[in-house]
Amino acid sequence: MDLKDKVVIITGASSGIGEACAFEFAKRGANLVLAARQYVKLCEIADAIHKKYNVRTLAIQTDVSNEQDCKDLINQTISTMGKIDILVNNAGISMRALFKDLDIDVLKKIMDINFWGTVYCTKYAFNQILNNSGSIVGVSSIAGYKGLPGRTGYSASKFAMNGFLESLRNENLKNDIHIMVACPGFTASNIRNVALNSEAKPQGESSMEEDKMMSAEEVAKNIVNGVVHRKRDLIMTAQGKLTVLMQKLFPKLLDILVYNHFKKEKDPLIS
């Protein structure tokens, strides 16, 4: 796919992977619609991208957990840009709490943003993307292939996203539409700082060593390359690929390895 003059919607575009994807798509000539709740930050990013790459940019304040916001996002994009070629469902939130300790509202908030946000945006953008032989991307996680301790809601939301997109792909096997599930490794961003604790409040300090993780820019390049080459699944690290393989072949052994890995994080939830 040649990205020049394509119209790309990116949710969760105010920071991290979403922001990095915006710059990477613009670098290759795409016009951008940036969606997130932080409108001022979105406008600053849109302005910076326009000045650097001279592409069209549009910032739309959007809470993807709100269906009407998602519908408005799509309608405003069509009204202003005239079409939609690519949708990157990147908006997401994580969590860190044992299931026995958490408020059930934590799971609801995670599902509303990570799963339903993807469903809403995809639903209202689908016909446009189908007509333009475009792409739908879900930024998922290895947590969507393997349940992780202390992340019951996050894993559930990513399993749900993966299943939704896989079903959508199969429904449209005979149609010219590209659907990709992208799974970064642990990525340096603020997602762990704002991850919900047992009381559905941001936990603050990250529980992991952020300086040893993939950069958001590296992830963005992989995602954009995946769109260009119309990849089906994009698992970006050797650790991730090994996890998916072991889950199929040696799930019990993987349980032990995952448990041992997470009991080493800062202030571990398990021991």
Which residues fall within 8 angstroms of residue 181, CB to CB, at 6 or more apart?
137, 138, 140, 144, 161, 162, 165, 166, 232, 233, 234
Q: From its phi and psi, is residue 5 left (phi > 0), alpha (psi between -120 and 50) or beta? A: left
Regarding beta strands 86-89 and 178-183, do their DSSP bridges make them parallel or antiparallel, or are they unpaired?
A: unpaired
Tell me whether residue 154 is one of the annotated catalytic residues. Answer: yes
Amino acid at 117: G
The DSSP output letter for 114 is: I
State both tokens at 154.
């996050």
For residue 134, what are the CA distances in angstroms to 8, 189, 192, 257?
A: 10, 28, 32, 39
Catalytic pick from 120, 124, 145, 154?
154
Nearest Cα residue to 217 out of 81, 25, 59: 25
In a 10 Å sphere around its CB, with 0-12 CB exposed, 13-18 middle and 19+ buried, how is residue 145 labelled? Answer: buried
Task: List residues with catalytic annotation.
Answer: 154
